Amino acid sequence: MNDALLRELVPAVIGVLVRRGADFASAEDAVQEALISALETWDADGPDDPKGWLIAVAWRKFVDAARSATSRRGREAVVDAEPPPGPAPATDDTLHLYFLCAHPTLSPSAAAALTLRAVGGLTTRQIAEAYLVPEATMAQRISRAKRRLSGESLDRPGDLDTVLRVLYLVFNEGYGGDVDLAAEAIRLTRQLDSVTDDPEVAGLHALMLLHHARRDARTGPGGRLVPLDEQDRSRWDRQSIAQGVGILQGALARDQLGEYQAQAAIAALHADAPTAAETDWVQIVEWYDELLGITGSPVVRLNRAVAVGEADGARAGLAALSEVDDDVPRRAAVAAHLHERDQDLDRAADLYVAAAAAATASAERDHLTRQAARLRSRNAP
């Protein structure tokens, strides 16, 4: 049995049930129960029409639930809606479900969890393990999200920017449990890219592929964080890089630049450099200027200061950093790096200590602590 195929069919099956009159929450619950039945009963090849099988079983699950919760008139109306047997409809409601799951009334974390379940086809247990929270906690989060969507129609126009932010949030969660969220986000974004005609969707798709291509080189023994300039580039996935660059080039050719395309262009320049010393930092600064003009983000301004420091020297980088507020996350780490490059080692060591204290991820905290210890050992009598 092909688990990936099952998960790809989920949004289409939910869409069919909603168009037949089921509310989103009930349709999603029924499809999850149908998936469990499929896992228990399908053989290695599965039925001839897996989508039709899931629709039929999910609809029966929904009708059974409706019979126990509605009046006789309501039950008869629901049962009468069931169409005669036949091939599954070809209509794909995936894009509508993306928009519904990224509804503006939902928090980003709730939208991400609901997207993974309704569009990604993951179980509550899988999502909980991926986010490293108890299954009951995740079940409550998903239930609250579905209650908020009660009564919302699939025909309501969605916000593509919100959908993309949710997918990027899922991607950046990384890995936990038995589900690789980064890989799952790439799969969902690829799916979205196939049903839309928007260069920013393609830009996000390319960005994810380019970042994910460096994954194996990002950590060393014991989970030690390996900075970009120290990574073994032979471990980068060149096939994913080539695919990402190809998608990016197609998006940029549309001449509708957006933030994800600009970020992907920066990632492509890093991926294209044979060594860290050969990185085209001047062009990266130019792309950061474009990105800053689009977003005005303080995080982009912070990353631009790093690029300026590499392109024009540490003093220029520090001057660019002075335009970044002190409370921007990771500012102390960037300041430490630039002061080290400027040979102000005592100041750099102090800043590495401060950055380590503020770090939320253990791998980053350990890396910054080692950087501080390295500089202080060099300055010891």
Among the candidates 68, 92, 116, a domain finishes at 92
In a domain, 287, yes or no: yes
Residue 199's pLDDT band, with cuts at 50, 70 and 90, is very high
Predicted confidence at residue 75, as pLDDT, reads 44
Residue 324's pLDDT band, with cuts at 50, 70 and 90, is very high
**Residue 174, pLDDT above cutoff 90:** no
Predicted confidence at residue 381, as pLDDT, reads 60
**pTM over cut 0.75:** yes
3-state secondary structure the chain: CCHHHHHHHHHHHHHHHHHCCCCHHHHHHHHHHHHHHHHHHCCCCCCCCHHHHHHHHHHHHHHHHHHHHCCHHHHHHHHHCCCCCCCCCCCCCHHHHHHHHCCCCCCHHHHHHHHHHHCCCCCHHHHHHHCCCCHHHHHHHHHHHHHHCCCCCCCCCCCHHHHHHHHHHHHHHCEECCEEHHHHHHHHHHHHHHHCCCHHHHHHHHHHHHHHCCHHHCECHHHCECCHHHCCHHHCCHHHHHHHHHHHHHHHCCCCCCHHHHHHHHHHHHHHCCCHHHCCHHHHHHHHHHHHHHHCCHHHHHHHHHHHHHHHCHHHHHHHHCCCCCCCCCHHHHHHHHHHHCCCHHHHHHHHHHHHHHCCCHHHHHHHHHHHHHHHHHHCC
Residue 26's pLDDT band, with cuts at 50, 70 and 90, is confident
In a domain, 188, yes or no: no
In a domain, 336, yes or no: no
Mean pLDDT of 183-212: 93
In a domain, 171, yes or no: no
Least confident residue range of 69-73, 214-218, 273-277, 357-361: 69-73
Predicted confidence at residue 337, as pLDDT, reads 97
What gap in Å lies between CA 166 and CA 115, rounded to an integer?
Answer: 8
Tokens of 113: 């969890």
In a domain, 7, yes or no: yes
Predicted confidence at residue 152, as pLDDT, reads 65
Residue 86's pLDDT band, with cuts at 50, 70 and 90, is very low
Predicted confidence at residue 206, as pLDDT, reads 98
Mean pLDDT of 212-232: 92
**Residue 89, pLDDT above cutoff 70:** no
Mean pLDDT of 41-54: 83
Structural domain total, the chain? 2
Specify burial of residue 263 (Cβ count, 10 A radius: 0-12, 13-18, 19+). Answer: buried
The answer to whether 184 and 115 are in contact (CB under 8 A) is no
Among the candidates 328, 343, 373, a domain finishes at 328
Give 375 or 223, the one with higher predicted confidence.
375
Predicted confidence at residue 73, as pLDDT, reads 46
Mean pLDDT of 52-57: 90
**Residue 88, pLDDT above cutoff 70:** no
Predicted confidence at residue 175, as pLDDT, reads 59
In a domain, 80, yes or no: yes
Mean pLDDT of 308-337: 96
Give 240 or 94, the one with higher predicted confidence.
240
Other CB atoms within 10 Å distance of the CB of residue 230: 10
Give 86 or 287, the one with higher predicted confidence.
287
pLDDT digits (tens, 9 = 90+) for 105-154: 888 888 888 888 888 878 888 888 878 789 999 999 999 888 888 766 65
**Residue 221, pLDDT above cutoff 80:** yes
Residues 6+ apart with CB under 8 A from 334: 302, 305, 306, 321, 324
In a domain, 33, yes or no: yes
In a domain, 211, yes or no: no
Residues 6+ apart with CB under 8 A from 349: 336, 372, 375, 376, 379
pLDDT digits (tens, 9 = 90+) for 277-319: 999 999 999 999 999 999 999 999 999 999 999 999 999 999 9
pLDDT digits (tens, 9 = 90+) for 223-270: 899 999 999 999 999 999 999 999 999 999 999 999 999 999 999 999
What gap in Å lies between CA 381 and CA 243, rounded to an integer?
Answer: 52
Average pLDDT, the chain: 86
Q: Which domain holds residue 30?
A: 3-92
Among the candidates 328, 348, 374, a domain finishes at 328
